[in-house]
Amino acid sequence: MHDRRIPEWLRHAPAPSVRGFAVLAGTEAVARGILVSVFPLAMYRALEDARLVSQVYFLVGLASLLVGLLIPYLIRFVPRRWVYVTGTQMFAGGALLTTVGTPTGVVAGLSLVTMAVVTTFVCFNAYVLDYVAKLELGRLETSRLFYSALGWTVGPMLGVVLYGWWPPAPFLVAAVAATGMLTVFLVMRLGNGKHITRSRAAPANPFAYVHRFFAQSRLITGWLFAVIRSCGWWVYVVYLPIFAVQNGLGEQLGGIALSISNAALFLAPLMLRFIQRTSLRVAVRTGFLMSGLLFVAAGVLQAQPAVAVLCLMAGAFFLILLDVSAGLPFLLAVKPSERTEMSAIYSSFRDVSGILTPGAAWLVLLAAPVTGVFLAGGAGLLAAWGLANKLHPRLGRARIAVQPYPAARLDTLVPERSEPI
């Protein structure tokens, strides 16, 4: 009798929906979007050397990669929900620490925020694979971008404007947004995810699951797509603002360019229809080919800084197409029994790109200007275009070929953003 008086939503938490995950991703987009164009400026202002900035990003990337690979091991002893909660608080703490403005404070803040991003990302993807059917993954990938569009579009430009007005301002906004992430997470009541019984005991070595990744060529290929795509975003987000400052185009240009480019996120539903009408293979190859060519063009046209910036902005449009499509080959190949472990492997793409890109840029900048980084990034994207030729023409066709979305249902319509931070 008493149970009947208790509301159903209190007795049984509703199953998380695609929209719920999209809202959570949208909240994260506000926190990351406001800082993505500010951190390179803060680093360059504090360290005053593009090569030193690359070195710091390189070392932070190494630390973040180690943290991401240890998350599945940690989750065996600490409930996943508490790991996610800790990640949101690390994000807020790192943003607040950066407001100190000293070189040490900026580097420490960047480190905390970067490790917070990978921590929440591993948990988020594990929850997605727990609660979202493979049939719905294409819809979720598009929905996440659509809900994230405002944060990624307004955030970068707003961040540099606030930074010019009062340097601590964007970091305070990011700390508030990180608290918003925590609030949405608690409202969704995701708990610790679903439990799947394995046929064998979990390995004692926290890195033992890595061999399962290397034994599956489809996972390796999908992961490489994510790494190279993320390298493209690293080049765009970190080195475009430095290029603009060095060529007298102003500190705000990088954030404005990123905001304009990210406006293409609102086209994510149309991009999904393009994938449906062609194939996942065509979309991935198109994204890598066009972004690679445009990045190379930016490097060649270094004598015309404004034209080079326009080429990079056009290339970023195709990086967004890759945000929609290039993560699906990996997600479609993950086995249910390996959700948390492979989520950690997948999330490592951001950290690996955060090691490769500044590491390669560090070497390039020893012998060439910043435009040499654009050339190197374009070459990597073109290499991925060649690799994508190995994708099966019908990969994911049955899984992402959902019914077209009516205009009135765009709110039910996304993929992870792979920019640094």
Q: Does a structural domain hold residue 304? A: yes
Please check the confidence at residue 165 and state whether its pLDDT lies above 50: yes
Please check the confidence at residue 406 and state whether its pLDDT lies above 60: no
Looking at residue 136, its pLDDT comes to 64
Please check the confidence at residue 332 and state whether its pLDDT lies above 90: no
Please check the confidence at residue 201 and state whether its pLDDT lies above 70: no
Please check the confidence at residue 207 and state whether its pLDDT lies above 60: no
> CA–CA separation, 380 vs 409, rounded Å?
37
**Which carries the bigger pLDDT value, residue 261 or residue 174?**
174
Q: Does a structural domain hold residue 227? A: yes
Q: Does a structural domain hold residue 233? A: yes
How many CB atoms sit inside 10 A of residue 74's CB?
Answer: 17
Q: Does a structural domain hold residue 6? A: no
Number of domains in the chain: 1
pLDDT digits (tens, 9 = 90+) for 265-317: 777 778 878 887 888 888 888 999 999 999 999 999 888 989 999 999 999 99
Please give the DSSP secondary-structure letter assigned to residue 193: -
Compute the CA torsion angle 90, 416, 24, 207 (nearest 10 deg): -50
> Of 21-35, 265-279, 334-348, 383-397, where does mean pLDDT reach its minimum?
334-348
Residue 82 structural domain: 16-194+209-396
> CA–CA separation, 97 vs 310, rounded Å?
34
Please give the DSSP secondary-structure letter assigned to residue 157: H
Looking at residue 200, its pLDDT comes to 47
Please check the confidence at residue 415 and state whether its pLDDT lies above 50: no
190 in helix, strand or coil? coil
Q: Does a structural domain hold residue 201? A: no
Looking at residue 402, its pLDDT comes to 41
> CA–CA separation, 227 vs 326, rounded Å?
10
> CA–CA separation, 272 vs 412, rounded Å?
14
Please check the confidence at residue 172 and state whether its pLDDT lies above 90: yes
pLDDT digits (tens, 9 = 90+) for 113-163: 989 988 898 888 778 777 766 556 666 766 776 777 778 788 888 888 898
> Could you tell me what percent of the chain has a pLDDT over 90?
20
Looking at residue 206, its pLDDT comes to 47
Mean pLDDT of 63-90: 86
pLDDT tier at 9, thresholds 50, 70, 90: very low
Asked if 149 contacts 58 with a C-beta cutoff of 8 angstroms, the reply is no
Taking alpha carbons only, the member of 287, 295, 358, 354 closest to residue 327 is 287
Q: Does a structural domain hold residue 415? A: no
Q: Does a structural domain hold residue 122? A: yes
Looking at residue 174, its pLDDT comes to 93
Phi-psi map region of 403: left, alpha, beta (phi>0 left; psi -120 to 50 alpha): beta
Q: Does a structural domain hold residue 414? A: no
Q: Token pair for residue 252?
A: 């705000």
The CATH number of the domain where 257 resides is what?
1.20.1250.20
* DSSP line for 359-418: HHHHHHTTTS-THHHHHHHHHHHHHHHHHGGGS-TTTTHHHH-PPPPPGGGGGG------
Please check the confidence at residue 376 and state whether its pLDDT lies above 90: yes
> Could you tell me what percent of the chain has a pLDDT over 70?
80
CA 225 vs CA 34, 64, 145, 179, 385: distances in Å: 26, 20, 18, 32, 9
Q: Token pair for residue 303?
A: 């004598």
> Of 17-26, 30-39, 339-348, 354-363, where does mean pLDDT reach its minimum?
339-348
> CA–CA separation, 338 vs 314, rounded Å?
37
**Which carries the bigger pLDDT value, residue 418 or residue 222?**
222
| Contacts of 205-214 spanning 24+ positions with Cβ under 8 A | 206/69, 206/70, 206/72, 206/73, 207/69, 209/72, 209/338, 209/341, 209/342, 209/345, 210/69, 210/345, 212/338, 212/341, 212/342, 213/342, 213/345
